[in-house]
Amino acid sequence: MDEAVLPEKFKELEPFVVWSLPTERARNRKRLASSMAEIQAFYDTILPRGEAIIEYLNQFALEEMPMKEKRLFYLVLSLAEVANAVELFKQPGVIDGFDPERFLPMHE
């Protein structure tokens, strides 16, 4: 039985699979509920693999992507979610931002 949750090529990223969230709202909530140490560790691990991940995922149509690949795709989306926290704000929340619960993505 295959116990891997990510493609074999990216198995070392499995400790971060808790960041593999299918909706923008869930990714935003995860960022806000995480410490900067957790966010930084995720960012530092996924960012260097970002190009390889995207290159690998480009071989799959989004609507036909197998589950392991979808989890990997969601990790990259979470990387985009935390990038500003690491690179600009130096904190999980947006500086002088409004309550994130007021933001309701229309596509979810």
Q: Give the whole-angstrom CA distance, residue 74 versus residue 23.
A: 8
Q: Give the whole-angstrom CA distance, residue 83 versus residue 18.
A: 17
| Within-domain flag for 84 | yes
Q: Which two tokens stand for residue 36?
A: 């900067």
Q: Which two tokens stand for residue 11?
A: 């198995």
Angle, helices 67-84 vs 50-57, to 10°: value is 140
| Within-domain flag for 98 | no
Total domains in the fold of the chain: 1
| Within-domain flag for 64 | yes
pLDDT of residue 93: 82
List the domain range (segments joined by +) for residue 83: 35-90
pLDDT of residue 1: 41
Per-residue tens of pLDDT for the chain, all 108 residues: 457 899 999 999 999 999 999 999 899 999 999 999 999 999 999 999 999 999 999 999 999 999 999 999 999 999 999 999 999 999 888 765 655 565 666 655
